Structure 1
Amino acid sequence: MSTTDVTVLRTPRRRRDATLLTVGLFAAIASAMLPVFSVIAPGPWVAGAVFVTAAVLGAGLLVRVGRLPAAVASIAEIAVGIVLLTAIFGRSTALLGVIPTPATFGSVPDLLAAASEEIRTGVAPVEAQTGLSFLLVAAIAGLAVVLDHVVLTARMPLLAGVGLVAVSLIPTIAIPSDIDIAGFLLLAAALLFLLRIDTRARTATAPPTRSDAPRVRGVSATALGVAAVAVIVAVVATPLLPQPDLRFATGGTGGIGTTINPNLELGNDLRQPREVEVLSVRTTAPTAPYLRAVTLSRFDGAVWQPDSSDTVPVPAEGAVFDPVTVAEGVTVADYDTTVTVDQLDSPWLPVPYPASTVTGLTGDWLGMPQNRTVVTRAGSTREQVYEVQADVPRPTLEQIRSSAVGGPALDPSLTSLPDDLPAVIGDTAREVTAGAQSPYDQLLALQTWFRSSEFRYSLDAPVESGFDGAGVDAVADFLEVRAGYCVHYASAFAVMARSLGIPARIVIGYLPGTASSTAQQGGTEYTVSSSQLHAWPEVSFEGIGWVPFEPTNSLGVPTNFASGSGSGGSATTDTPDQDAASPDAQPSTAPSQADRPDLGAQDGPGVSAGQGSSTTWLAPALVALALVLLLFVPSVVRVLRRRRRLTAAGAGDPVAAWRALQEEAVDLGIPASGAESPRAFAARLTSDHGVDADDVGLLRAAVERVSYAEDAVDPASGPALVAAVARIRARLRAGAPPARRLVANLFPRSLVVRSGAVEADRETVGS
């Protein structure tokens, strides 16, 4: 049988395998995109992505069926993708509606800017508009071009599978949710299909002998069995394993979880769509208390820093903090609160203020007397159940109005502000508080102003206006836009109070929970969700202590004190430590996530945050590690391919040995064209690169016999073929400059530049 006859017989199989690989690749890309629906809502962009991807892959298939060079396939795919993207998104500036012009390309930055804005301000699942739709369709089409080259030209479907799995994981990492079982099964099936077709195509290039057929079938059956078991284990067994703890991502990175952010970087996490119950509270207080976790007193004009001061161990029994001291005549109420933590994983312990005794904790916990907060260096709040006894000062309106703010022992930093404080902050503070007769009246005026109709609660306005922060510049912008969330209200209130000489700090903790039962013996029970993580300001009054205020519009309970006249000196106090919505001291429901305005269709965005500034190095370190590992991926892939070639050569396959030689040459920058015969290539290696004539002659003669004389593979010749390849490789590398050898190791060109094939009729796809 002649070479021409072999080519004719194998052409149908080559075309069929190329078609099957293309179809499998399309299915794999579609499956990998299914998790995107949890982040981007399905819409017209899906149809566009499906159509453009199918057209791109189809163009590449037509080129390959026509036996044109692989580079032409990639060029044709890129051209088809550009034409279709132009027809869909740039008709108004294109010739005949499909041919892009300079104006068409000039519109791309605007589309990408629009997409970036949609991503930045949108809430998952985002409704894709024109900009985001363009980005999605173009990205998927580009992915199709790259993977088509990897699968059909470079013939590395496993590498393509790794890329597709990574793509499918990105939406799940961004918005954690239940596993998409259907998507996983489809992707697994598509990748296994690609591997099977590619393996069959490679086997077809060197038909096995009759004795080898049972072994090949056995290997295929074993591989399919292993794949089936792996999929079954992933789908059935994995959900039965213990689930990892939920954690909030660090501020500014988004994410879902249950911890407490000490850095006021709450914006991105507030916009997350998932809400979970973090803890429950049972209290003898007439209303649910605010639960404080972290106080922030130091302010440099840009960042509020969490307090760090001397600590004392929390004893198993007895008081951890000194008794509350108040001025003569101020009433102190004693309340007991039991906190049961569910999905809260934080080193800061939520406690009512001002706590005196904390019992029932497991692990080593420390108290900060300066602010009566509790923290651990190694443990967590997860599954803690503890009791807190708090002595709450209850001054009358007359008492707090007559009290001075601060005190001689107070840290001067509590009133410090940067020298470059925007004038609008101090001017506005003085304007709003004009006419106030006491510091308390000034603070009450500020609180009333922030909670008036001049302001609105908004998660999106700070992002849209570019001031999503807590520094003085963000405060100035907030006072102009007058829309934001708790971080902006608390920071603005504290900075304006300091501008009036009043010591103020910020507290991070939880809003009062939602009543889950009626009043009964032992107190009322409340549930607290992740969406109720909150920030509010506090001000220090002599003889009373730190008094919380609630400036956040439409949330929480505003602070005000009742007059003590006619009540024998006792007063009903409506502070953020109580629920002012129930002046008769009956339990009531604190604001829940449903009460938050301006949230659109969000389903309970939780305020999430990171483990603190101590872990901010983790993300850059992981990125650096990933980049280092990525640097060695080509080298590892090349080593695996060389090992595969030499294994086949050791079994007596001269074609594999010759292909190994060609790839070594390509890596070192030596051309190995398919238009050059084995005899000419061997002669060039001998004359130009000093290769031993006997070694290259052995390989050349063997590949010519099996390619043209149709000699059977001789396993006995395997060791000689491998030894010859090893000696030639050593000679070629010895003659190459050190820089060339380094590049050949790290970035082997043979992975992307295909070496010439002397047995063209034995190539399955990508010729």
Structure 2
Amino acid sequence: MSAPAVTRRTPAGRKPARRNRGTQWLLFTALLVAVVAPVSGLWGVIDGRLWFDQATVTVAGTLAAGTLVRIRGLSAGLSFTASVAGLIVMLTLQFFPSTAVLGVIPTAESVRRALDFYPQARDAVLVQAQPVLSEDPIIFFICLAAGLTALMVYLLVVGLRVPALSALPLSVFLVISSLVKTDGAGLLHVGVTAIGYLVVLAGARLERRATSPGAALRTGVLRQGVLIAAAALTLMLVVPLALPGFSQGLMPQGQRLYLFGKPSGVNPVLNLGVNLRDRLGVTTLTYYTDSSEPLYLRTAVISDLGAKRWEPSDLEVGRDHSAENLAPSPDGFPAQSAPRTRTVHTRVVTGNYQSPWLPMPREAASVTGLAQEWGYNGGTDTMFSQAEASSRKLDYTVTSQVPVIDAAALEASSARLARDPGSATDRLPKTSTDLPRNLPKIIPDTARQITRKAHATTAYEEAVALQEELRSVDYTYSEQTPLEQGYDGNGVGVVAAFLEQKSGYCTHYSAAMALMARTLGVPSRIVVGYAPGRSNGAQALGSDGKQWSGYDLSPSSAHAWPELFFPDLGWVPFEPTPGRGTTPSYASDSPAGGPAPSQAPDTDPTRARTIPDANPSAEPSSPPAAGAQGSGNDDGISAVMPALLALVVLLGLFGPLGIRRWQRSLRIRSIHRATDWRDAVASAWEELLALGRDYGLAQDPQETDAAYASRLQDHLPDAAPEVQRLREAFERASFSLDAQPRRQLVPRGPASGIHRPRASRELALDEALDAALIDIEQGFSDAASPGRQFLARAWPASLLRR
């Protein structure tokens, strides 16, 4: 008995769509727009636009590789493999060309550097607030995430042919934006993403028609697609209005989602609100000192107050000394004019502290216990990572020469500054004296009002007057008011708002005093670091028999304070923030008749540049207490958990779908490779039964094959001819003894009921069965509700039974 006649129509003159370049490039454009649109939701989270340009190039290269292979007529599997290769090439070319073969083929060194990027990116995310500095580790992972999103969307649209599910990976960046931005993902980004998603659905339909001969749109399908698209667009635009996170942020009021562990470093870009509002109470580092008073520890210095974004001054210059070779600052004062100093030893145990900057006491003369990967900037008196060094679990000792400064020395320095301001500050960088362009009028006006009120006539008197006014009852310390009033950040606009509201935290107080001092002709800068912290009751015994007192620091100990420059004395710190730290003794003498501060410790760190030799013998002989190592989760678990969580989510979302598509591909392969035509038909019928179970139209145990096929024809009117043909073929195969060769063409015959009347061509049996299954699956999808379509593809019921 011969096999059933099966014919298929193809529009006259149409080339096979695998070679339809126009359709493939249209789909490429749709995918590019759809993936890049949600990535743009990170505007404002990352500084600048370099990250966005590189992410766009990465996505384009990834998708272009697969498109070029697809145009050559190769399979979807090979095109997906090419896309993976394209992603690897794009990442290597942009980030590791010097370690790659020909600049594009990664080597083991390239992989090592990529892995080294993870702790650096994690530290940046934990330490910094928005916008995060646009550095290579951050940009690399954004490009990697964008590329993986492109791969997932390409797999769903081209490989698995379930474009509707592409909304899941496309929404990832929008969810991230809603979690990390106080104003949410933004309706604009959501709208552009929705449009991109609809374009992908349209492009996928065109691509499917082009790659499946005769797969023209059946009656009603276009109308149904338009309705579904309109509903999807409406949901994506309207639902965000009712959900938190897309218009106002899921975690407003300064809260953050700690995906990489608990924060443990100070934000170096002067946006300390996140640190200060942290109430976890986690000890991130401990220090021991022989000083009679607790110390301020500095991490970074900000001098360029005219920049749009305030960031550490040593990002580009000054990083040319190792931790073992501390060099004096070029803008300090000559050793012969230094005031009397005293030696202070400080031992710092970092525990789980994460930052590219290490906490340091002022006036470091020598450091022991640090590797060459750490460098020192004499201009800012800060220690930084210059070779991707880890700041965790370090134990180092700093010897400092702390000057003893009094009001008389500051008055004498002020007199020199008044006589010859040019020569007194000629060694300072311009960023320490320049005023920002378009400086708000309230800043110089407030400075003049304060100094006139205090009758201040010298630079020293003006500095004290500014400090005491900011610490007066007219100003209120608040970490929430800046959030509520919209000036939680840095910059001259933020300072102007603070002076109007007269409420803020250390960032606002220190920046206000620094800018007002500059308007009065006094060089200034801002230091970011830690306030003295709290005593932990522990002590470490030094080799000289002295007890070193211990202090714990947590994220909420983060602090910022201004330093003003005085000739012959260098950079002198002040404390304008009420309720934080201690007021220096030299600023409590009330030279201009102002009120005396309530706190007046005997000494405070000031500028000294005498560099004696290190004194290793002064290090404590006993180890620090157990609490010195800080607290927190195991580093390995903390690093792996996000990846494991993401893997579980991805397996839950896409695992069943992938298994089902793999099962279908095995049956299709069996159809094409069967040597007996009856085996090919049996595989096709088995796939039909699986599709029925997936879409809730399973065959009943008592139902015959003919009755089941008849029921399917009633439910799937558009695919009824294909179901009928497959039923006839299965019945003939079940009773036929004729093992027809699989490559023999089926007998020619007139077309009967397959789409519109068009020119026809004969197909081999395996091709005909494959094409019939494509149409039948489309028929199931067209007849099902959107919810049933989702369940059939995401969690197919056929996997539960055979």
TM-score for the superposition, normalised by structure 2: 0.46
TM-score when normalising by structure 1? 0.48
